[in-house]
Structure 1
């Protein structure tokens, strides 16, 4: 059924709601998301939306997931579809597959803007903006009558456009005039700003349904990252409320639920807004709690209580990544086989430490989380570097030699620049505690992109290392990741064979698909864990082959996108493309967390690195 028809027919005592999901980056995560969606469908959303990776990077998974929710879950599904950076013919293919699977709703989006002087991905010249996709579908005899089309709106302004509010509303009206049937908005946390914006939109003559995007705050660090990525303005009162509880993840989670309830109540009280879209990030508990507090949930309280009871317990999360926080959504393999395993819908999650679903409702749940989680890879699901060419050149300059790159990574460690292509936030306080060691490695040309120090029983409220609820203790094994040449990888392997067999594990991989490791094929290294009153041991940071290889693909794609900022044949592009082809990504873990210097001593030999 088309979304606008469902909205028109909605006659409940409360506003409607939709749930948004993204395709996880691993087959295991996708299988468990299917189970999660099955549970959440009992909350009676009028529709489910499924995101589309940049340039069609999640085409197969997105189409399979949307087909599953439409057919097997019997929930009307909205397929997000981006149009820029798409290879010719991919838009038509996606629309035909969606039509064949009974999907009648499309959210037409622009997607990533063009990067650099020349795209390294072929582009279909018909599509440069969301309006082009709307116009194309509406003018097609094959697709026009099939699809109800939605478009995006930005109550606080588009993060990539230097246009005033009036200009943004004109863009929106043009999309509606081209044939859009409904509008879904970007996230926001200021209800007053949204209400003023919607008044102006209606005054412009835009009358189609407007569905605001709501995302409950999960953790303080992920919230800061989100508002930076999306250019969202936050009222000072919210930041003041979060400041005293920022190190208590459970309190932040509870605050996020209350804030979402307050915002929803305020924007729906006037009757101008008839429903909301929950950006779930593939998490479930916050959405359940928000709906429960709003008293919007269909069915009996007993049914809801059962759902919440079966959902993971107290919310905790891995400590924020040290000098790497980039984990965009970037899956490319087919999910057909994963979705074929429908029997998982009836199975309860396992209770062992390695697959306990209680660790699956955390955020961020990126590459350091459990790769079996439905939310694996959620931390930066929008994809790409999230920065324009001009911004990149301004921040990172024009590196022409390996020495220039070493200097760039050192400047980041010295806080002379606030980002690198591998980290969109300044160096964390945690990384500052091991700064001399990171400087030592980087000076040798081992460009560090992620690390953490060993920690033996710090308080869960510790200003630097703490996470999770109060009254607990947290632990960490030291690890570090960096890019090096192949001969250095061989030196490291020899060193581990001679001196580190009992305590050191490593992974090393290159862009060509080669992977070396001394970790058993099914080995999983928990490198961050915590113990809290009334809970099982929580293993929140796990490094194993599946997640490392997923991240490896992402890491080398970052080099490619960075290279695309510079003209073909330029010294900068040749350098960055050469690094991508020649260097290896290496991850080293030292298991003796009792000694703070164990990893760094191992990597040193007589005071110099190896």
Structure 2
């Protein structure tokens, strides 16, 4: 059913709401998201929406997920669709496949913007802006039946320097081209949003406006998403949030209350529905709806779907050879080599409540890319200017060194400033980077630090957190061969290695199916929580993303230029390496392994 027709049918008797999901990168994450959606269907959303990766990078998973929610769960689904930087014909193919799956609703988005370089050529010349996609769908007989929505930005578009009047005119153009509803980017300033709605209506735009609401899940994800979306954050919100930022449970509770208060204020302002950006997590959204008195009993269909789901897997020990032989020495410490899953216990809603690590658990529905509307971090022109025009390997080394020394606040691989915990291992990161092994991820070893610690703490108050030291970097093949030899001959089971290149070659010391929890926490009355897990599937997913970043960065420079030749050469010849040392009691263990003896690797 068309979304606008459902809004009319719903009437104004109570608030309606929709849920937004993104397709996880891994198969198990996808399967667990399907189970999670089956439960959330019981909350009676008016529709679900499924995001679309930049340039169609999640095309198949997006279509598969949208098809499942539309056909098997019988919930009207809005498929996000971006148009720029898409291969010729991809838009047509996606619309046809959506039609075959019974999908009637499309959120038409621009996605990655044109780069503004004189050599940039649109991949498909028909589509350079969101309005082009709207106009194309509505003017093409084969696709004109779709109900088309568009995005809007109450706090201003993150990629544009245009003023508000220009953006409102552009929104009006999209509606005039055939857009039938508007879903907004997330925001936290409700007064500003309601004033923006008045300005939209003053432009003669009458279609439904559905505000995007994202309950705060963790302090880190809140900072990341608000930066990505250029969201205005009220000073009062930050003053309330900052004092509790190290207690993840308090942050989550705060996020629920804030969302409830926002929605009630929106209702008083005449808003009839909201769009939840779930980040593929269910507990906070459920609690918000319960607080609003909107989470009734789960219908029979959803109960049947839940009863048909397999039971969560039990935790089982997965030892690491020689490391396992050292169990007696580490007997007093929590054992991290456990299968994720039993954390679900009585409720599968919250076993991945604290996805703090970049890797997270590859089985979690929340594992993957949280970019909502198909934009790339490399589209930040300010960041690009800081990275300059690298023409030599030394130029790249200097860029990574400048990041370590906080002279720039991001790299293409690290979109946020260097974290305070990285300062704990700063001399080692500096040594690796100066050597030309460009670090893109790391953490120090931590042994039972209180969860309230200002630097490494996370989770509820009263707990203790643990970390194994790991580091990731790009290195040349000859160096990778030396590292592999050292791990084989001297690692003694204490060091785990993953290394991969753009060609798909992978080297590892980890047995098939081996999993390595490198961050975990112990909290009163709870199962051990594992927030960062490194294993083959998650490493391969990150590897593919990392090498695609080199490709995208290279594309900002004209073909044949020194910059493009350099960046594509790095992509084609370097390896991504991940090293973990299991002895989290010794903060120097990994660095001693790398730097020790008469033949230091670095």
Q: Name the residue aligned to 1:202.
A: 201
Worse overlay, 189-198 or 163-172: 163-172
Q: Name the residue aligned to 2:61.
A: 61
Q: Tell me, in whole angstroms, the C-alpha distance in 1 between the residues paired with 2:474 and 2:138.
A: 48
Q: Tell me, in whole angstroms, the C-alpha distance in 1 between the residues paired with 2:358 and 2:308.
A: 25
Runs of 4+ in 1 over 6 A off after TM superposition: 118-122
Alignment counterpart, residue 442 of structure 2, candidates 445, 451, 454: 451
Q: Name the residue aligned to 1:346.
A: 309
Q: Tell me, in whole angstroms, the C-alpha distance in 1 between the residues paired with 2:283 and 2:419.
A: 28
Q: Tell me, in whole angstroms, the C-alpha distance in 1 between the residues paired with 2:96 and 2:196.
A: 36
Q: Tell me, in whole angstroms, the C-alpha distance in 1 between the residues paired with 2:51 and 2:121.
A: 20
Q: Tell me, in whole angstroms, the C-alpha distance in 1 between the residues paired with 2:120 and 2:354.
A: 32
Any idea what SS the aligned residue of 2:13 has?
coil
Q: Tell me, in whole angstroms, the C-alpha distance in 2 between the residues paired with 1:431 and 1:158.
A: 32
Q: Tell me, in whole angstroms, the C-alpha distance in 2 between the residues paired with 1:390 and 1:468.
A: 35
Q: TM-score, normalised by structure 2?
A: 0.91
Q: TM-score, normalised by structure 1?
A: 0.90
The number of residue pairs the alignment matches comes to: 570
**CA pair 473-365 structure 1, distance change in 2 beyond 3 A:** closer
Worse overlay, 352-361 or 428-437: 352-361
Per-residue Cα deviation, 1:470-516 (whole angstroms, up to 9, x for no partner): 11111111110000000101111111122112211100000000000
Decide whether the 8 Å contact of 1:441 with 1:609 is kept in 2: no
- Measured after TM superposition, the shift of residue 345 of structure 1 is 5.0
Q: Tell me, in whole angstroms, the C-alpha distance in 1 between the residues paired with 2:405 and 2:246.
A: 25
The equivalences for 1:388-427 within 5 A come to: 388=379, 390-427=381-418
CA RMSD of aligned residues (A): 2.0
Q: Name the residue aligned to 2:74.
A: 74
- Measured after TM superposition, the shift of residue 380 of structure 1 is 4.3
Per-residue Cα deviation, 1:1-36 (whole angstroms, up to 9, x for no partner): 111111001136321000111111011111111111
Q: Name the residue aligned to 1:290.
A: 288
Q: Name the residue aligned to 1:508.
A: 499
Does structure 1 residue 498 correspond to structure 2 residue 497? no
Decide whether the 8 Å contact of 1:418 with 1:425 is kept in 2: yes
Does structure 1 residue 517 correspond to structure 2 residue 480? no
Per-residue Cα deviation, 1:540-574 (whole angstroms, up to 9, x for no partner): 11100000000000000111111112121111111
Decide whether the 8 Å contact of 1:385 with 1:558 is kept in 2: no
Any idea what SS the aligned residue of 1:166 has?
helix
Q: Name the residue aligned to 1:17.
A: 17
- Measured after TM superposition, the shift of residue 166 of structure 1 is 1.2
Q: Tell me, in whole angstroms, the C-alpha distance in 2 between the residues paired with 1:370 and 1:148.
A: 36
- Measured after TM superposition, the shift of residue 388 of structure 1 is 3.5
- Measured after TM superposition, the shift of residue 281 of structure 1 is 1.1
Any idea what SS the aligned residue of 2:377 has?
coil
Q: Tell me, in whole angstroms, the C-alpha distance in 2 between the residues paired with 1:452 and 1:569.
A: 38
Per-residue Cα deviation, 1:214-269 (whole angstroms, up to 9, x for no partner): 00011111111111111111000000001110100000000000111111110111
- Measured after TM superposition, the shift of residue 53 of structure 1 is 1.1
- Measured after TM superposition, the shift of residue 465 of structure 1 is 1.1
Decide whether the 8 Å contact of 2:354 with 2:459 is kept in 1: no
- Measured after TM superposition, the shift of residue 346 of structure 1 is 2.1
Q: Tell me, in whole angstroms, the C-alpha distance in 2 between the residues paired with 1:27 and 1:121.
A: 34
Q: Tell me, in whole angstroms, the C-alpha distance in 1 between the residues paired with 2:115 and 2:237.
A: 34
The equivalences for 1:464-503 within 5 A come to: 464-503=455-494
Decide whether the 8 Å contact of 2:112 with 2:379 is kept in 1: no
Structure 1 portions without partners, runs of 5+:
311-341
Decide whether the 8 Å contact of 2:111 with 2:375 is kept in 1: no
Does structure 1 residue 143 correspond to structure 2 residue 134? no
Does structure 1 residue 229 correspond to structure 2 residue 231? no
Per-residue Cα deviation, 1:343-362 (whole angstroms, up to 9, x for no partner): 99522323425132546433
Q: Name the residue aligned to 1:277.
A: 275
Decide whether the 8 Å contact of 2:54 with 2:82 is kept in 1: yes
Decide whether the 8 Å contact of 1:365 with 1:379 is kept in 2: no
- Measured after TM superposition, the shift of residue 424 of structure 1 is 1.1
Any idea what SS the aligned residue of 1:158 has?
coil
Worse overlay, 121-130 or 284-293: 121-130
**CA pair 548-139 structure 1, distance change in 2 beyond 3 A:** same
Q: Name the residue aligned to 2:328.
A: none
Q: Name the residue aligned to 2:91.
A: 91
**CA pair 384-211 structure 1, distance change in 2 beyond 3 A:** closer
Any idea what SS the aligned residue of 1:526 has?
strand
Decide whether the 8 Å contact of 1:360 with 1:375 is kept in 2: no
Any idea what SS the aligned residue of 1:554 has?
helix
**CA pair 364-122 structure 1, distance change in 2 beyond 3 A:** farther
Any idea what SS the aligned residue of 2:174 has?
helix
- Measured after TM superposition, the shift of residue 140 of structure 1 is 1.1
Worse overlay, 38-47 or 383-392: 383-392
Q: Name the residue aligned to 1:107.
A: 107
The equivalences for 1:158-169 within 5 A come to: 158-169=157-168
Per-residue Cα deviation, 1:164-203 (whole angstroms, up to 9, x for no partner): 1111111111111111111100100000000000011111
Decide whether the 8 Å contact of 1:222 with 1:379 is kept in 2: no
**CA pair 558-63 structure 1, distance change in 2 beyond 3 A:** same
- Measured after TM superposition, the shift of residue 366 of structure 1 is 6.5
Worse overlay, 491-500 or 356-365: 356-365
- Measured after TM superposition, the shift of residue 453 of structure 1 is 0.6
Q: Name the residue aligned to 2:318.
A: none
Q: Tell me, in whole angstroms, the C-alpha distance in 1 between the residues paired with 2:485 and 2:180.
A: 62
**CA pair 366-596 structure 1, distance change in 2 beyond 3 A:** closer
Decide whether the 8 Å contact of 1:181 with 1:208 is kept in 2: yes
Q: Name the residue aligned to 1:258.
A: 257
Any idea what SS the aligned residue of 2:519 has?
strand
Decide whether the 8 Å contact of 1:87 with 1:121 is kept in 2: no
Q: Tell me, in whole angstroms, the C-alpha distance in 2 between the residues paired with 1:217 and 1:533.
A: 23
